[in-house]
Amino acid sequence: MSDFTSNFWSIFITAITLVSILACLLLLWFSGKARAMTATDNTTGHVWDGDLREMNNPLPRWWAWLFVITIVFALAYLALYPGLGTYAGTLGWTSKAEHQAEMDAGNAEIAPLYARFSAMKPEDVAKDAQAMAIGERLFMNNCAQCHASDARGSKGFPNLTDSDWLHGGAPANIKETITKGRIGNMPPMAAAVGTSDDVKNVAQYVLSLSGSPHDSLRAALGKSKFAACAACHGNDGKGNQALGSPNLTDDIWLHGYGEAAILAMINGGKVNQMPAQSDKLSEAQIHVLASYVWGLSNQPGSKTP
């Protein structure tokens, strides 16, 4: 941890940078002063192909001055801009600030367009072709990496085109999820359930809740042990959107289907994270994006991206 809290590396990088520039300057100076042993005809004595001789002429003065200029430029740059460890430079420039300035300028340019959508209900935004075209671009740029370009997700990443929502599928719930992000935490429950045999019985009971193929005898034995899971998933196994706990009675399996997948969840638990987008998207953009996502599963006749 000390590697990240001490200023050793900042000093190290600064020293290496300045020493390297100084070494280049000294090399240039010594090369200009040094005199090689030459013959009477001002050659080094090296001959190739019979008549090609290496002359001992000094470097062109213009070339040497260009080299000096690059060194002066490097020192001036490092004084003005960050480059010497933690030194921020006299101008105080940062790539983050420049990016933010460009984002602010871009948001100001498109603000009038988003202002129209911000005054509309999400249900109405989802019916606007222009808003949905913008929402699709926002989705592709910020959401498709996890939820896929068709919004159907994959193992560990929810499908946004169905009616199954961990935290609620109303426009307000979707907007909150996009803005603040979500952290889903299924703690390891094997110790609370009981023995390894009890865990297998609970897994079979969970399979029975959704009508999946299961061992009815084990499922009957696991029903009472399911009480350890009911605090989150409910006594009926239908989950709790306030906690983000999944409904176990449907046929939707976010982290895999079958006894092996359920055992892995009970024994090892699982932590999933949906990152907050409020630092990347404006409130108006989130409004359009939330309306677009809502429309994927609610707009009659709607199609995935």
* Domain limits for position 38: 2-80
Report yes or no: 78 and 19 within 8 Å, Cβ to Cβ. Answer: no
**Residue 86, Cα to own-chain centre: how many angstroms?**
25
Whether residues 220 and 249 share a domain: the answer is: yes
The verdict on 143 and 199 lying in the same domain is: no
| Claim to verify: residue 144 and residue 287 sit in the same structural domain | yes
Same domain, 59 and 110: no
CATH of the domain at 150: 1.10.760.10
Tell me, yes or no, if the pTM score tops 0.95: no
Taken as a whole, the chain contains a residue count of 305
pLDDT at 47: 80
Please give the Cα distance from 89 to 78 (Å, whole number): 7
Domain count, the chain: 3
Question: Do 217 and 267 fall within a single domain?
Answer: yes
Do residue 21 and residue 151 come from a single domain?
no
Local confidence pLDDT in tens for the 305 residues of the chain: 455 567 888 899 999 999 999 999 998 888 777 666 666 777 777 788 877 877 777 778 888 899 999 999 999 999 999 989 888 899 999 998 998 899 889 888 888 889 999 999 999 999 999 999 999 999 999 999 999 999 999 999 999 999 999 999 999 999 999 999 999 999 999 999 999 999 999 999 999 999 999 999 999 999 999 999 999 999 999 999 999 999 999 989 999 999 999 999 999 999 999 999 998 899 999 999 999 999 999 866 544 43
**161 within domain boundaries:** yes
Same domain, 166 and 193: no
Q: Among positive and negative, which fits the CA dihedral 200, 206, 212, 215?
A: positive
221 shares its domain with 118: no
Rounded Cα gap, residues 257 and 251, in angstroms: 9
Is the CB of residue 278 less than 8 Å from the CB of residue 286? yes
Mark whether 117 and 174 lie in a shared domain.
Answer: yes
- The number of beta carbons lying within 10 Å of the beta carbon of residue 242 is 8
